């Protein structure tokens, strides 16, 4: 299976630096819709057999232009949602953001027992994400290309761990809105990284202000730029 893991377009929570992980979540900003409209042309060379989205509104809005252009149905798949922020839901301050980002590092280091207070541990996250991808893969031939619109932190940590990438990937490889990670393989047989596009697939000119986008990367600046909790 060839898996196109596309991050959703920009939301108001990305602009504000808020850990927005619960359903239905914020919708796309004007820039987010522009990023989404650029996706069909950017993926014009891909023979996409199926299009799946998470249960959160922003992924469904991002997928809509691609679904329309290809005559596909953007099917909601449970398990593809963002990593739960738990007690830090909608948090914007240093403590909340640092705890969320440290959680990713702990999982990348192999500590899957770790969990944010009120959130899920690594075992639960990888089990649900694997299950969602396995269910999708079981419906298609092994050489099929599947487009999945999901979330920044979820895609970054899943690709890093599942493809056996270096821990530094979480710092060195951001994933801005409508950035794309391509994996080949299967949850039961392992994954290989084919490509990692940091910028929006429609071009870097669509990136916008990412200084508070705390699920795009784990840089110190992203943590320090976070505003105070409300």
Catalytic residue among 34, 46, 82, 123: 82
- Biggest distance spanned by C-alpha atoms of the chain: 48
With CA atoms as reference, report the closest residue to 51 among 5, 15, 97, 114: 5
- Our answer to whether residue 8 is catalytic in this structure is yes
Question: Is omega for the bond preceding 24 within 30 degrees of 0, making it cis?
Answer: yes
Q: What is the gyration radius of the CA atoms in the chain, in angstroms?
A: 16
Query: Which residues, in sequence order, are CB contacts of 67 under 8 Å at separation 6+?
Result: 51, 73, 74
Would you state the structure tokens that stand for residue 14, as one six-digit string?
């990305």
- Our answer to whether residue 34 is catalytic in this structure is no
Catalytic residue among 8, 88, 151, 212: 8
| CA gap 55, 78 in Å, rounded | 6
Which amino acids are annotated catalytic? Answer: 8, 82
């Amino acid at each position: 299976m060839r898996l196109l893991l596309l991050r959703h377009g920009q939301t108001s929570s990305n602009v504000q630096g808020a850990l927005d992980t619960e359903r239905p979540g914020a919708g796309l900003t004007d820039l987010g819709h522009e990023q989404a409209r650029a996706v069909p042309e950017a993926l014009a060379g891909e023979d996409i057999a199926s299009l799946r989205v998470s249960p959160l509104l922003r992924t469904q809005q991002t997928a809509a232009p691609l679904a329309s252009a290809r005559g596909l149905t953007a099917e909601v798949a449970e398990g593809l949602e963002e990593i739960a922020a738990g007690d830090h839901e909608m948090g914007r301050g240093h403590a909340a953001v640092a705890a969320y980002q440290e959680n990713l590092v702990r999982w990348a280091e192999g500590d899957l027992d770790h969990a944010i207070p009120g959130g899920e541990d690594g075992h639960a996250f990888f089990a649900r994400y694997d299950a969602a991808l396995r269910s999708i893969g079981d419906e298609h031939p092994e050489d099929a290309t599947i487009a999945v619109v999901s979330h920044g932190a979820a895609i970054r940590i899943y690709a890093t761990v599942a493809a056996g990438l270096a821990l530094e990937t979480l710092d060195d490889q951001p994933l801005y809105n409508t950035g794309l990670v391509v994996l080949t393989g299967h949850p039961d047989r392992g994954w290989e990284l084919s490509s990692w596009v940091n910028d929006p697939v429609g071009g870097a000119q669509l990136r916008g202000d990412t200084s508070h986008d705390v699920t795009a990367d784990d840089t110190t600046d992203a943590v320090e730029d976070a505003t105070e909790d409300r």
